[in-house]
């Protein structure tokens, strides 16, 4: 077994069907083998029927994870992976036919590398609004896009890979699993599951490789191309940041929140409101900053409340 591909899914059977249909076009080098693990994380739609329809056409292994949460589902896949290279993607992507072949070539060319990442381009459900097209680079996070060029090369220390298109040496993940306290749970917007794993691997001396030629297209539904969704994403990022970093709460506070963070939020929010009619670069920067700061504030208050209840 050369490659394991893992997909974690929850109530997106229609998109999953498209993803698996495209995976039937994958082309691997002669003699290369692969398995496809699909982890059903408590879906209540017809996910099982979709998997049954594709099982005769793909090396598909159906798994079930009863503990809700993306990290729990990912850890389930790690437990069942049989190959040395574990490639992750989402249930709402379209892969290019040479996707796996490109990862296999990179893993062979860089035997010392511990993790890899590939290109994630947008697959819009409808034409994006002008402000989305204008600020697409700043919105790579909310839309899970990653575009660092077409080359295959070592990743720089400040470059991240995204979960819609990333790979790891499986033995490293068995020793460095995903944290169930981070990542998506249901409709929640916490993140940080994959970035935390990568940070831990880098701290251990592991290096990464960018595989620009391993390309997928990530579905962006119309309802995500809204300012409300962008706010929700960066608010979740702020909450995640507070869980990971724990900004200092020993100085002057307002209801358990550092005063400097409250000032940052107010300044960014006011600026974003003033610049909203034009939605230029200044508006995008301040809007994102305000959403993240509010996320930190709300998580600080939640932590203060939990500490007060003890």
**Structure-block tokens of residue 113:** 């590398």
Residues 187 and 287 both lie in one domain = no
Considering its fold, how many domains does the chain have in total?
Answer: 2
Q: What is the pTM of this model?
A: 0.93
Residues 210 and 232 both lie in one domain = no
Annotate 243-288 with three-state secondary structure: HHHCCCCCCCEECCEEHHHHHHHHHHHHHHHHHCCCCCHHHHHHHH
Model confidence pLDDT, tens digit, residues 206-246: 999 999 999 999 999 999 999 999 999 999 999 998 888 76
Residues 112 and 19 both lie in one domain = yes
Q: H helices of 55-91, where?
A: 70-80
Instruction: From 27, 26, 7, select the one nearest 17 (Cα to Cα).
Output: 7
Instruction: From 40, 254, 84, select the one nearest 174 (Cα to Cα).
Output: 84
Residues 164 and 259 both lie in one domain = no
- Do the beta carbons of residue 73 and residue 193 sit within 8 Å? no
Residues 24 and 153 both lie in one domain = yes
Residues 121 and 237 both lie in one domain = no
Which of 192, 221, 250 represents a domain boundary (last residue)? 221
Q: How far is CA 137 from the centre of its chain?
A: 16
Residues 121 and 260 both lie in one domain = no
Residues 17 and 146 both lie in one domain = yes
Ranges 19-23, 92-96, 187-191: which has the least confidence: 187-191
- Measured distance CA(248)–CA(250) in Å, rounded: 6
Instruction: From 272, 263, 265, 252, select the one nearest 293 (Cα to Cα).
Output: 265
Structural domain boundaries, residue 236: 227-308
Residues 214 and 302 both lie in one domain = no
Tell me what the mean pLDDT of segment 272-285 comes to: 96
149 pLDDT higher than 80: yes
Which of 203, 221, 239 represents a domain boundary (last residue)? 221
Tell me what the mean pLDDT of segment 58-65 comes to: 98
CATH of residue 142's domain is: 3.90.550.10
Residues 257 and 153 both lie in one domain = no
Residues 133 and 250 both lie in one domain = no
249 pLDDT higher than 70: no
Which of 205, 221, 237 represents a domain boundary (last residue)? 221
Residues 29 and 147 both lie in one domain = yes
**Structure-block tokens of residue 226:** 């809204």
């Amino acid at each position: 077994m050369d490659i394991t591909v893992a997909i974690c899914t929850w109530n997106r059977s229609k998109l999953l069907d498209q993803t698996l249909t495209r995976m039937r076009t994958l082309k691997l080098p002669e003699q290369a083998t692969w398995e496809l693990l699909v982890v059903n994380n408590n879906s209540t739609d017809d996910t099982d029927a979709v998997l049954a329809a594709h099982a005769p056409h793909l090396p598909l292994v159906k798994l079930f994870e009863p503990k809700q949460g993306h990290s729990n589902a990912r850890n389930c896949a790690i437990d069942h992976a049989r190959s040395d290279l574990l490639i992750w993607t989402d249930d709402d992507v379209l892969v290019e036919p040479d996707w796996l072949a490109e990862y296999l070539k990179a893993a062979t060319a860089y035997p010392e590398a511990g993790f890899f990442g590939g290109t994630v381009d947008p697959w819009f459900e409808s034409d994006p609004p002008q402000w989305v097209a204008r600020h697409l680079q700043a919105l790579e996070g909310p839309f899970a896009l990653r575009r660092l060029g077409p080359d295959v090369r070592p990743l720089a220390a400040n470059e991240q890979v995204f979960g819609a298109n990333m790979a790891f040496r499986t033995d490293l993940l068995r020793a460095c699993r995903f944290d169930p306290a981070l990542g998506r749970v249901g409709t929640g917007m916490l993140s940080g599951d994959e970035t935390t794993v990568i940070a831990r691997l880098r701290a251990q001396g592991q290096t990464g490789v960018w595989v620009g030629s391993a390309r997928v297209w990530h579905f962006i539904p119309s309802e995500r191309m809204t300012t409300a969704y962008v706010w929700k994403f960066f608010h979740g990022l702020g909450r995640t940041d507070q869980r990971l970093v724990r900004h200092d709460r020993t100085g002057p506070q307002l209801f358990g929140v550092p005063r400097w963070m409250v000032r940052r939020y107010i300044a960014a929010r006011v600026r974003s409101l003033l610049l909203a009619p034009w939605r230029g670069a200044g508006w995008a920067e301040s809007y994102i900053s305000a959403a993240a700061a509010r996320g930190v504030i709300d998580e600080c208050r939640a932590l203060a409340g939990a500490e007060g209840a003890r």
